[in-house]
Structure 1
Amino acid sequence: MTRVAGVRAELRADALGVADPAPRLSWRIDDAPAGAAQTAAEARMTRGGAAAVAGLGGDAQALVAWPFAPLASRERATVEVRALVAGEWTAWSEPLAVEGALYDEADWTEPLVVPSTAAAPETRGSHLLRAAFTLGTAPVSARLHLTAQGVMVASLNGEAVSDEHLAPGWTSYRHRVRSRVHDVTALLHAGENVLGAEVADGWFRGNIGFDGGLWDVYGPHVGLLAQLEVTDRAGRTRIVPLGEAWRTAPGPATAAGLYEGEAYDARLLPAGWASSGFDDSAWDRPELRPPASIEGRIEPAMNEPARPIETLAPRSVERRPDGRVRLDFGQNISGVLRIRVDAPRGHAVTLHHAEVLEDDALGTRPLRRATSVDTFISAGVPVTWTPRFTIHGFRYAELEGWPGELAADAVEAVVIHTDMERRGWFECSEPLLNRLHENTVWSMRDNFVDLPTDCPQRDERMGWTGDIQVFAPAAEFLYGADGVLASWLRDVAAEQGEDGWVPNFVPWVECGFPRSASAAWGDAAVVVPWVIHERRGDLGMLARQWPSMTAWVDHLALRVGPDDVVEGSMELGDWLDPVAPPEDPGAARTDRYLVASAYAARSARIVADTAALLGEEDARERYAGFADRVLEGTRRRWIDDLDGLADAPTGLALAIEFGLTRDDAQRRRAGDLLAAAVRAGGHRIPTGFVGTPIICDALASTGHLDDAYALLLQRELPSWLYPVTMGATTIWERWDSMLPDGSINPGDMTSFNHYALGAVVDFLHRQVAGLAPAAPGYRHVLIRPRPGGGLTWARARHVSPYGPIEVGWRLEGATMALDLELPAGVTGEVRLPDGTAATVGPGTHAYTSAITVEGATP
């Protein structure tokens, strides 16, 4: 029976404390008759005991506008959806509970609790905070609204409020501070209760950045803002006054830094401190500041929290000659160790972390100043301990000072990242490509720790704009990254300069890197919202980011010279071109101003297209005119003499994929030159940061599919598969982060966990498997497999806003068999290698096609 399922508010199944008081609704249609789709829908909302029904228009199922009055702060409601499919109404869906957050700054009345201020830039310890209070009766409902300056772990009556790690995460604190609301009803009882918290520096005042980093970037203190609201049986809600009840004492973490690690002395943890009956008369009174003293606006979190996702047992355990125990977890992760240890009082166990081994030792040089060492000092009783205020990037760990033999379950690695929904999968007949895809998935996971970062291990971990700009299509296929990216884009807009300048990483930290924005990096302000619209059908994202998008293109206009190209500005260009020496990663074969001009034209065109969608006709004409101007200048300077780009593969790829050529003949000529350059290089990667994500598409789209596959399947350095042959489990920053002899690249900038070069998996999804969006939100898809490279089968699956889309093909002699399944609400255009084309609707479909031995024709 046809039914409506998966109702969500702002794409979230958990709508407690929803960030938008008028959240958009999404749902899917399950078990519909073959070929059938929704033609109308209704929503029913119940709040305050009253129900209301509203129409939701016609066939839209994703991010449909909220049809009721906006939620008030704290307001609770349930929403159900039904749809008209094949002339019949479905039953109402399961209800989705939706609850408002605190939307008005005046809703916050409890104080910011500040335990201390720091006097010196050093790795500092944690602070305990407790507030005892009495409830006459157990509440029927209770909500705890939380945020902090620093990072925190909160509890009620000794029970954890949540499993979040490094809450409330990192934002541009001077502009915005995120809060979350927790349902704590089950943790409270009649009588005395205790709200407890441990707070440490985190990003707020800990050391962040590179080239020495900075301390106290956002302030010399840490603080907790906690507001507990309880509702009694009569329906009355009140805020529990905690201000004067707060007490503070030093915490058991004697030193805690994101880069440095956590030192924890269990002897310093007061027994029962977070429960009732504890005597805190000797504890200090913290400073209480009004919530208005927080510099940034407090706003509800729109992204999922970072939390423990899974645990890994060691693949191997080795007792070293120096007494240390080395553990190999078989996978490079972001996370921490969890140890179960029984040691004498005062005994210290030290945990060392590294991504790789070099000369049979932990390869810690690439970590730079991020020492990544945790220490646990025992109180003399068996305990399970996990660091709370740090995170590491590692595959290997060494235990120093482990007491006795290591039990099989004594140590595990805890994988931590933002709790995103998995949406995309790919698999084919080549195991090395499957490992490449899995490596990319892991690098995304490891670098989506609250915001999209460059790496999870060294003294950096910044929200580099260029990395996510090139990776956004892959990210949106693989995971539900919308919340992370939407939150981060708010910071991009907040950090923009008055002239539209976008920092090269966000949040921005003045740690010595040039302030001047760079093309392909700052363009994230335009490209990432556009990709989210393409992949999720999120027009609201474009509307929200419109001022930021236009400001960036207006900034680009300031950089365009009289020849109608970008020139004279600081540009990173085709960063990490394989020919670039370790000490100069920006020394690429392609002119950095060609890169900048190509991106200026592309971003201006995207903004013009966005203006058309938003009904901004004057803006559309203005930005389209600017795009045409820069495009013409770029053609005159570089494209009309394509022979001048013969040794600049990224330049040729940009000409093809960014539409810089004047006509089809010139485009084919660029493709021929690119193929010749790739062949001359032995099908080894000839591109850097900008060219690598698009080179396979550029080859395939100009009649050189075999060269694209040869490049994709190359195993020699530099190539995508070289790291796989070297045992990589994540994507490396450099093609040669590890040299063939097993030594680490001598450069100062060497990471084994950067997702950017893994952007090629989008080619695997769209071209190899043949699953590509052809309309926003995958409402219409292009099914066009491109077999080649000796592959005998491939398949992809993506959970679109309308439900799962599956495509799979296999070769049977000279025939390709194709199977696909489309959910209700999605149509597809099928193109087969033999030229057959068909338009299909929801349901299961199967095709066969003749195919040549060499591979599909372009």
Structure 2
Amino acid sequence: MSIIITKVSFEHYEPGAALGIATPRISWRFGGDAENWEQASYEIAISRSGQSNSFKVESSDSVLVPWPDKPLTSRERASISVTAHGKDGSSAAAQVNVEAALLQPADWTAQAVSRPTYPDNVAKRPCLLRRRFALETLPKTARLYITAMGLYEATLNGQRIGDHVLAPGWQSYSYRLAYQVFDVAPLLKEGTNELCAWVGEGWWAGRLGFHTGARDIWGTRPALVAQLEAEGKVLAQTDDGWEWAEGPIVGSELYDGEAFDTTLSLTAFKPAEVLPRPLHLVAPQAPPVRRTAHIPASEIIITPSGKTIVDFGQNLVGWLRWNNQVDGTGTVTIRHAEVLEHGELGTRPLRFADATDTVVLGGKTEGHEPKFTFHGFRYAEVTGFPRAVEKDDFTAVVVHSDFERTAHFESSHKELNQLYSNVVWGLRGNFVSVPTDCPQRDERLGWTADLMAFAPTASMIYDVNGLLSEWLGDVAAEQLDYGKGRPPFVVPNIPLPGQARTDTPPPVAVWSDVTTITPLDIYTTTGDVSLLRDQWRSMKAWIDEGIPRTDAGLWKRVFQFGDWLDPRAPPEDAANGMTDPTLVADAYLIHSVRIAAKVALVLGQEEDQRRYESEAARLLDAFQAEYVSPKGRITSDSQCAYVLALQFRLAKSEEQAEFWAATLERLVRQGIFKVGTGFASTPFVLLALAAHGRLQVAYRMLQEGECPSWLYQVKMGATTMWERWNSMLPSGEINPGEMTSFNHYAFGSVGAFLHQVIGGIRALEPGWKRIAIHPRPGGTLTDAATSFTTPYGEVSCRWVLKGERTRIEATVVVPPNTTAELMIGDQKLAVGSGTHRVEGVWKDESEWPPQPISYFHFPGDEKKSTFVP
């Protein structure tokens, strides 16, 4: 039996990243097959500036333990050795090097530089900025600290610096601007050196928002900030010695695409202009955007109109790479889209985003990629190509924030496996620097409700915690700055139609409840109390100041999005669903107040805890009086109403909860197991059914194949999650509604059911120190396997049903330094780390398949449901 440390990390930084915190908390993750292994103590040895100090602590803690030494200083490097000692006398050790970034504003001497003039309110052509400097001798170490107001791609002596793309990403620029740190010593040379960077408008000055949108939201001048240091000396920095020129990138916009002319060379360089440096430069914990995959073309399609379309077989986010030298003249135009309609490129869902790249031929094409745009697409229509397009002419380059993959799921059900793949790809496409609603049309914004719905699933599949912690900080900053406790609908905040960016946002439930719900979700995954502490003002401001209340404390009747995209809402009015929007708002209000009470307990805020607990009790009474009949019927007789009432524990008794569960079951059976929920309630519908004795009903809904359902999308060939349940109609036509994205992760929140119920894995306490493993087979599934890399190491459960579904056999892996409660069939065990093989008696919880309720039966009715066995 062995125990090893597989990873040492600092705060939520990716390995090797420069740290922007002087006293970073330290975590270490375990591997190995040691049984019942528990840490008794740990020792951290820190070597810095030629001195070593060792700190031994008697504790089982191994996640986010305090930095034991004096604070790091700017640019300081240290070697950290961690040794974990087990109660059984064994030990494991690991060593890593760390480096501090620039921790103080005074560390920066660079200014910002830009070309002298940019026209306002139009697209900005990218330019190349450069600085030449001389070196007599080569330094042993050199660091480049660099960012842009806009986007940049840098080179040193003609060699690309780093592997980031779309750097420095998108933040709420009024409060922070991320910078990157690169080791550039290998790129330096004796004599004349040349530091260059292409700079584009990006999110800083580019067009953002619906239709024509808005430009120049944060500034009119894309600019570069760079500081190259070696051994305590600044070798080059952005100042009045820089020059600029234009080149073959004629235009590059996020929505509209990039225009590149291979026949153009750089213009003559001219002096650049110095601008003030941004004040809030930070070294981010969020991982950078990188190229994460390369997808070959799967098919060349000739459309009915004779157009050439390259199909990559997967809806993705990124751009095309030209693999070959293409000789000829003229302009090649590449249009991108997610779907085909009537055999042609389906561009209507893009609205006012052109999503078009052009390349003028006559020069080098091999290896060409766009720099400062990205597209959401599966299909690329190519016109103007001088010969027939072949599959090896282009590769699709996948880009997104490059976080660590932490969860996997597979089962005996082929369509469920494809659904899970769709959830994963939807996540990848919508985490390009910030969590967005969609990656393809004239939007791509950080909508708060979408993330709130999806965060529990996202934080399992990838380690999104550093990114979401920083994004939630932006949510709080925007919210607290504009007063009245209300966060914007989208973060980073841009002007939406009819609003200025600095207007106080309207009060809207669900979207604004991201301030309370999502910090708790991330805390559950990470156990990071500091996140709750950082978001506490934001939580309180929303509950105490942001909500217009009646005398009873409930919501006043104001505009609400409600259960957005309820499948019965008409295409032109996505908020007009089956459930009273104010009922939805009040259910979320009680949930948020209870969360605030729970967070107050964790933070030791006893007075707030008592206040919020008392408020929640009063609100529950008011909710019951407002929406619940004497016999228990909720006024909106909809799936959403009963799902939220059950999930948010709004019942006054077990009998009432059972009545609600039975009513929800009735509604699901009457609906022939089709989904009847939108953004506000879909994350919980299957979980609520399973938690209240309706497991097979949940499985039957999950396995439904007719629209609206999860597997309808799979049957229609989806490879990502859709915005609408019927984004593509059964006829193969695109939904006529204006909002018809084919890559929207909100309904991918079903991943929580796959992980927690089918896979059976969930945290018993925040941070996964104690784990529950209770797989609940159902439907036609005969086996499944789920894994998750917890902060302590990997937990997994692989189960199979045998003996005509009378026995369940499971292989469970519990990570070191944790304990787990297993429920495998009729076997209940408390175990420590290691691999455990358990067999139990299994009995399906109810009949399969559950039957629909039909009050009127006509010949052919049975064909209205397709259940995917």
- Once the two structures are TM-superposed, the CA of residue 361 in structure 1 deviates from its matched residue by 0.7
Q: Given the alignment of the two structures, is residue 821 of structure 1 paired with residue 810 of structure 2, yes or no?
A: no
Relative distance call for 1:269 and 1:320 in structure 2 (3 A) is: farther
Distance 1:759 1:431 in 2: 19
- Tell me the residue number matched to 1:384: 367
- Once the two structures are TM-superposed, the CA of residue 20 in structure 1 deviates from its matched residue by 1.8
Question: Which letter maps to 2:111?
Answer: P
- Tell me the residue number matched to 1:277: none
Q: Given the alignment of the two structures, is residue 114 of structure 1 paired with residue 104 of structure 2, yes or no?
A: no
**Which of 481, 487, 491 is 1:502 aligned to?**
487
C-alpha contact 1:56 1:64 (8 A) present in aligned 2: no
C-alpha contact 1:324 1:402 (8 A) present in aligned 2: no
Distance 1:643 1:92 in 2: 59
C-alpha contact 1:38 1:85 (8 A) present in aligned 2: yes
C-alpha contact 1:253 1:262 (8 A) present in aligned 2: yes
Relative distance call for 1:223 and 1:57 in structure 2 (3 A) is: farther
Question: Which letter maps to 1:256?
Answer: S
C-alpha contact 2:225 2:238 (8 A) present in aligned 1: no
- Once the two structures are TM-superposed, the CA of residue 543 in structure 1 deviates from its matched residue by 1.4
**Which of 505, 512, 515 is 2:497 aligned to?**
512
Relative distance call for 1:211 and 1:318 in structure 2 (3 A) is: closer
C-alpha contact 1:55 1:67 (8 A) present in aligned 2: no
Relative distance call for 1:653 and 1:114 in structure 2 (3 A) is: same
C-alpha contact 1:564 1:634 (8 A) present in aligned 2: no
**Which of 317, 325, 335 is 2:300 aligned to?**
317
C-alpha contact 1:257 1:389 (8 A) present in aligned 2: yes
C-alpha contact 2:173 2:218 (8 A) present in aligned 1: yes
Gaps of 5+ in 1: 271-279
- Once the two structures are TM-superposed, the CA of residue 239 in structure 1 deviates from its matched residue by 4.8
Q: Given the alignment of the two structures, is residue 240 of structure 1 paired with residue 236 of structure 2, yes or no?
A: yes
Question: Which letter maps to 2:484?
Answer: D
**Which of 744, 748, 756 is 2:734 aligned to?**
744
- Greater shift in the superposed pair: 42-51 or 245-254: 245-254
**Which of 408, 418, 434 is 2:417 aligned to?**
434
Relative distance call for 1:794 and 1:62 in structure 2 (3 A) is: same
Distance 2:54 2:538 in 1: 36
Question: Which letter maps to 2:269?
Answer: W
Give per-residue Cα distances to partners, 1:758-817, cap 9 Å, x unaligned: 101101110111111111111111111111111111110001111110101111021111
Identity %: 39
C-alpha contact 2:172 2:474 (8 A) present in aligned 1: yes
Q: Given the alignment of the two structures, is residue 476 of structure 1 paired with residue 456 of structure 2, yes or no?
A: no
C-alpha contact 1:117 1:220 (8 A) present in aligned 2: no
Aligned-partner SS, 1:18: coil
**Which of 644, 661, 667 is 2:651 aligned to?**
661
- Tell me the residue number matched to 2:322: 339
- Tell me the residue number matched to 1:448: 431
- Tell me the residue number matched to 1:631: 620
C-alpha contact 1:818 1:848 (8 A) present in aligned 2: yes
Give per-residue Cα distances to partners, 1:134-172, cap 9 Å, x unaligned: 111111111111111111111111111122121111111
Relative distance call for 1:241 and 1:213 in structure 2 (3 A) is: closer
- Once the two structures are TM-superposed, the CA of residue 123 in structure 1 deviates from its matched residue by 2.7
Relative distance call for 1:455 and 1:382 in structure 2 (3 A) is: closer
C-alpha contact 1:645 1:652 (8 A) present in aligned 2: no
Distance 1:71 1:337 in 2: 43
Give per-residue Cα distances to partners, 1:46-85, cap 9 Å, x unaligned: 1101111113441111111211122111111111100111
Aligned-partner SS, 1:778: coil
Distance 1:360 1:546 in 2: 52
Aligned-partner SS, 1:561: coil
Relative distance call for 1:743 and 1:242 in structure 2 (3 A) is: closer
Distance 1:530 1:430 in 2: 32
Q: Given the alignment of the two structures, is residue 844 of structure 1 paired with residue 827 of structure 2, yes or no?
A: no
Distance 1:645 1:715 in 2: 30
C-alpha contact 1:198 1:251 (8 A) present in aligned 2: no
- Once the two structures are TM-superposed, the CA of residue 833 in structure 1 deviates from its matched residue by 3.5
- Greater shift in the superposed pair: 30-39 or 455-464: 30-39
Distance 1:25 1:757 in 2: 35
**Equivalent residue runs for 1:160-559 within 5 Å:** 160-231=160-231, 236-241=232-237, 243-270=239-266, 282-291=268-277, 294=278, 297-319=280-302, 324-344=307-327, 346-496=329-479, 497-512=482-497, 515-556=505-546, 558-559=547-548
Aligned-partner SS, 2:213: coil
- Once the two structures are TM-superposed, the CA of residue 854 in structure 1 deviates from its matched residue by 5.8
Distance 2:344 2:769 in 1: 52
- Tell me the residue number matched to 2:89: 88
C-alpha contact 2:552 2:622 (8 A) present in aligned 1: yes
Q: Given the alignment of the two structures, is residue 66 of structure 1 paired with residue 67 of structure 2, yes or no?
A: yes
Give per-residue Cα distances to partners, 1:508-564, cap 9 Å, x unaligned: 1112166313211111111111111101111121112222222222234x4221122
Gaps of 5+ in 2: 500-504, 851-869
- Once the two structures are TM-superposed, the CA of residue 306 in structure 1 deviates from its matched residue by 0.5
TM-score (ref. length: structure 1) = 0.95
Question: Which letter maps to 1:286?
Answer: A
C-alpha contact 1:22 1:66 (8 A) present in aligned 2: yes
Question: Which letter maps to 2:264?
Answer: L
Question: Which letter maps to 2:228?
Answer: L
Question: Which letter maps to 1:819?
Answer: T
Aligned-partner SS, 2:660: helix
C-alpha contact 2:299 2:391 (8 A) present in aligned 1: no
Distance 1:327 1:528 in 2: 39
- Tell me the residue number matched to 2:867: none
Distance 1:820 1:699 in 2: 25
Question: Which letter maps to 1:577?
Answer: D
C-alpha contact 1:706 1:788 (8 A) present in aligned 2: yes
TM-score (ref. length: structure 2) = 0.94
Question: Which letter maps to 1:458?
Answer: R
- Once the two structures are TM-superposed, the CA of residue 856 in structure 1 deviates from its matched residue by 9.7
Distance 1:201 1:57 in 2: 52
Superposition CA RMSD, Å: 1.9
Q: Given the alignment of the two structures, is residue 18 of structure 1 paired with residue 7 of structure 2, yes or no?
A: no
- Once the two structures are TM-superposed, the CA of residue 831 in structure 1 deviates from its matched residue by 1.9
- Greater shift in the superposed pair: 374-383 or 596-605: 374-383
- Once the two structures are TM-superposed, the CA of residue 637 in structure 1 deviates from its matched residue by 1.2
- Once the two structures are TM-superposed, the CA of residue 241 in structure 1 deviates from its matched residue by 4.8
- Once the two structures are TM-superposed, the CA of residue 324 in structure 1 deviates from its matched residue by 4.2
Distance 1:34 1:487 in 2: 37
- Once the two structures are TM-superposed, the CA of residue 379 in structure 1 deviates from its matched residue by 3.8
